[in-house]
A and B are shown apart, each in its own frame.
Chain A
């Protein structure tokens, strides 16, 4: 259990700046997930922690020790690769034992630790197989097992589930979460999948363009995104956004957009009229209700896309304020072409200024749940 601390870390490849002034701490025993779109620098950051890339500037500490200049083998970290990177010519046992063998661990010790890890990962029956004789999920377990036997200070995961199919991914996600609970080790995990991040993380760090946009517990990021990017990135389907200028209708603040007016929460009263503003609302906060059409909270529109999910559906509705995705419960709530009335309650709106910084969040939100690890 060690703290991983990055301080003002920069990484350039030639003229391309991949990571910019990143300062980030994974506390001891924490499951920190770095998430962001492709090219945001999350994998590069992980590789810098592992020692596979040298930062252009800044320092990296692991367990209080400055490891910035140390080679990977001296950092006492274990890494699980996206491609698993299993040694194809070695058996499962030898793959898992490789690191210990290199470090000259006694044979019995190696056998004990490998069989322990194999038991945890249910690989007992596969120890003599070679990687090509394993399924994707089994290979992933071996890759994790290889990390576990080393008993490192820090586990690093580089998109470990992206090569698995959906059902296996769900299962492995649960297993990794279980592993974290069991080992209590510091884990730094990279993914582009925000659902995975939400489910696994103690805290999530959202990166964009090499910069840290927000770090915090999943619920905090979900409910109190610091900026429009995080708001849009976390949550599936993504938050609806409507951009316009601040105005007033009957003394109440509204967002004027495309000739329509959308009622804003009281928090918007402080905003100057005419200021550009973006409001966001999560699909499940939108209500289907035709009664308010014509008011500043109710809008009518035509369903363009219906994504049935079984017990709920996501319906894309073209309204005066733009396309709004709404979550509807029930078997067959709508078909494309149906006309629907939507209500966008002002109390459910997130407000962002022109630069994308959050100004206000819904008032009637549940308190953030700490430590949602799975």
Chain B
């Protein structure tokens, strides 16, 4: 019987391994037949794409295309990892901005041999240069996207042609309670239009970004002026742009083609190019994104892929994409179609094309966003003059692009790892041999392994393997798909705070201090509020207790990111409920995300709201298990209410509360959602905790995965130390009570 069980367990294990293997094979198997296309289009754009592909399938049955939709946020990293391993698509749709990095990493097929100059003449001329990198062509253009000026015809019959005209709109519009212009002013994507309009450049030829150039500083000064003179409101989010413009509370909006999908039906609006910058006489120049069909270098049938790409970017497909998908298409011939040419919105964006500036497709471009936005936000919230803001941006930029740690030879590390593995294996073998010396132990052990095998396999695959991979990454540096072994370099960089001051945002120590403050204050609030409510709820005289109990557990039951987003909205400077309440009470507006204390407080409120129910439930359970007799004995002994709380309630709650606090500490320490969603690290990453810093290094700062993994490893070490300490503490408490 026992051996039968063992066999069954072994079979199950083999079966699951086989299944895994089969999946692996299926994944890597020859997919020559249909061409695989990855994209991240949604809604009308996806519908248009599928429609054009259906037409193609009917037209050319030999060219079948399998379409896989990948979420936009995941597409780039999926491509970066899948293509080198041969798991990538045969062609994919992506904005041109990553071409430089991918081309440099050899992930893209050059199309120069496949597409001649005559073919390129089929496209609007502005759409071709962005697809070149170091002289070679890497894609065919589908459509362009840039910001342009939306105007509400009822409020502004003709859009302002210059920024002076824009300023002139303030008085008449404000008099009617209308905001002249809304756009996400703290977003560098939109700010780039002014930046370029003031004559600043995006990236210098050597790939550097000149934050402190006079033109760049002037552009910062200009947006500060826009805000100060009432042209634009403060703290504008994308949702606010749509709601103000839709409600007729804003006359102008700067946004892209996607904005039309958010506009109310029947709103009479037009799209025009952005105004000239009066100070320079140059047009404000929004960033141009060239959406293209790109082909991985690993493609098996390049000619077939190019044929599909030519079809997708060709005039027939382009007309469908323009009409159905509302795209500003790159195919020149499509604009001869009256349905495309006659569309005022498309025409408006086409007109903007003349003065738009293609996003630089070099990888260096991606280092610019965070520092540029840091500078912008600093200036917009009045925390810095334009020059100071620019300086802060430059400094942040230097931190992010600091050179990687030098590559080191892995020999020593491999040797150390080998020694450690040998020692580990030796220790295990020694234990096993010692354990098996007993009579019958072998049979016992075999049976035991049969039982725990599946769980161990699952643990190894789901926990141990990712953990080891993560830990390994910490010893590498990652740039644009290239990994180099740097040994302990990442750790050394983090612990020496290389690239930034020891106690300024981005420093490990700063983030650690913030994290500790965050954890301690949160726990104090969770326990304090939870305990107080539990004491109230435990009073048998309280009517409707079950109702309160349910209500108070709700914050816990709602998914925490929803709660976090709600609180974020409530803390909005102009539209938020909290400032509304403060205003009603006669207080001024608080910029909740413009200073560390306020932003930290906002995070704290949100997390306190999320965290107290757990402590309340634990405390309530523990309170109800305290025998009533003890309170009566204390009554007879002469105890006051406070003495009973201090000498009976508190000490008897302790055994239940301490494990809850130890757990809560780990949860709070790693409470990513609240920090990321509420303050988002504002101001200037000042409120980021360790875990959200690690996230930013991995996903917002050039995919410095190795550095982020080292961060995660340090967090792990901290929490491991804490767990060991807290386990001892818990044991001591248990023994004491």
Contacts and interface: CB of A to CB of B under 8 A. Distances in A.
Contact of A88 (B636, B637, B639, B652): B652
B636 A50 contact: yes
A87 B631 CA distance: 10
Interface in B592-646: 627, 629-630, 632-640, 643
19 contacts: A51-B636, A52-B632, A52-B635, A52-B636, A72-B635, A73-B637, A73-B638, A85-B627, A85-B629, A85-B630, A87-B647, A88-B652, A88-B737, A89-B651, A89-B654, A89-B737, A99-B637, A102-B638, A102-B639
A77 interface: yes
B20 interface: no
Nearest to A102: B638
Interface string A40-60: 000000000011100000000
Contacts of B636: 50-52, 72-73, 77-79, 99
A316 B630 CA distance: 45
B648 interface: yes
A71 interface: yes
A81 interface: yes
Contact of A89 (B627, B639, B643, B652): B652
Contacts of A72: 632, 635-636, 638
Interface in B631-683: 632-640, 643, 647-648, 651-652, 654
Interface in B182-229: none
A103 interface: yes
Interface string A57-89: 000000000000001110001110101011111
A15 to B, nearest CB: 19
A153 interface: no
Contact of A98 (B629, B647, B654): B647
Nearest to B737: A89
B interface: dominant SS: helix
Interface in A83-110: 83, 85-89, 98-99, 102-103
A85 B632 contact: yes
A247 to B, nearest CB: 56
Contacts of B634: 87, 98, 102
A150 interface: yes
A85 B651 CA distance: 15
Contacts of B632: 50, 52, 72, 79, 81, 85
Interface in A190-241: none
Contacts of A52: 632, 635-636
Greatest chain B CB density within 10 A among A50, A87, A103 is at A87
A interface: dominant SS: loop
Interface string B712-728: 00000000000000000
Contacts of B651: 87, 89
A72 B644 CA distance: 14
Interface residues of A, number: 22
A283 B636 CA distance: 43
The 7 closest A-B pairs by CB, nearest first: A99-B637, A85-B629, A73-B638, A85-B633, A89-B651, A72-B635, A72-B636
Contacts of B637: 73, 98-99, 102, 146, 150
Contacts of A88: 652, 737
Interface of A: 50-52, 71-73, 77-79, 81, 83, 85-89, 98-99, 102-103, 146, 150
A79 B633 contact: yes
Contacts of B633: 79, 81, 85-87, 146
B737 A73 contact: no
Interface of B: 627, 629-630, 632-640, 643, 647-648, 651-652, 654, 736-737
B647 A83 contact: no
Greatest chain A CB density within 10 A among B630, B632, B637, B651 is at B637
Given A52-B632, A87-B630, A103 B737 contact: no
A71 B635 contact: yes
B638 A81 contact: no
Nearest to B626: A88
Nearest to A99: B637
A79 B640 CA distance: 17
Contacts of B648: 87
Contacts of B627: 83, 85
Contacts of A87: 630, 633-634, 647-648, 651
A230 B630 CA distance: 34
B364 to A, nearest CB: 64
A102 B635 contact: no
Contacts of B737: 88-89
A298 B113 CA distance: 132
A103 B634 CA distance: 12
Nearest to B628: A85
Contacts of A81: 629, 632-633
A73 B639 contact: yes
Given A87-B647, A88-B737, A73 B635 contact: yes
B643 A102 contact: yes
Contacts of A99: 636-638
B445 to A, nearest CB: 38
A146 B630 CA distance: 13
Given A87-B648, A88-B737, A98-B647, 11 more contacts: A52-B632, A73-B635, A73-B639, A77-B636, A79-B636, A81-B629, A85-B627, A89-B736, A89-B737, A146-B637, A150-B637
A103 B635 contact: no
A83 B651 CA distance: 19
B631 to A, nearest CB: 9
A98 B634 CA distance: 8
Contacts of B643: 102
Nearest to A152: B636
A119 B736 CA distance: 26
Nearest to A76: B638
B639 to A, nearest CB: 5
A330 B643 CA distance: 60
Contacts of B630: 85, 87
B654 to A, nearest CB: 8
A219 B647 CA distance: 45
A71 B643 CA distance: 15
A87 B651 CA distance: 10
B163 to A, nearest CB: 73
A83 B629 contact: yes
Contacts of B635: 51-52, 71-73
Contacts of A71: 635
Nearest to A150: B637
A98 B627 CA distance: 17
B78 to A, nearest CB: 57
A12 to B, nearest CB: 18
A153 B336 CA distance: 109
B418 to A, nearest CB: 52
Nearest to A103: B638
B627 to A, nearest CB: 7
Contacts of B736: 89
A1 to B, nearest CB: 19
A175 to B, nearest CB: 20
A123 to B, nearest CB: 17
B650 to A, nearest CB: 10
B579 to A, nearest CB: 47
A98 B736 CA distance: 18
A87 B634 CA distance: 9
A3 B208 CA distance: 97
Nearest to B637: A99
A83 B647 CA distance: 19
A71 B640 CA distance: 10
Contacts of A51: 635-636
Nearest to A80: B633
Greatest chain A CB density within 10 A among B636, B637, B652, B737 is at B636
Nearest to A78: B636
A137 B81 CA distance: 72
A105 to B, nearest CB: 11
A104 to B, nearest CB: 10
A83 B633 CA distance: 10
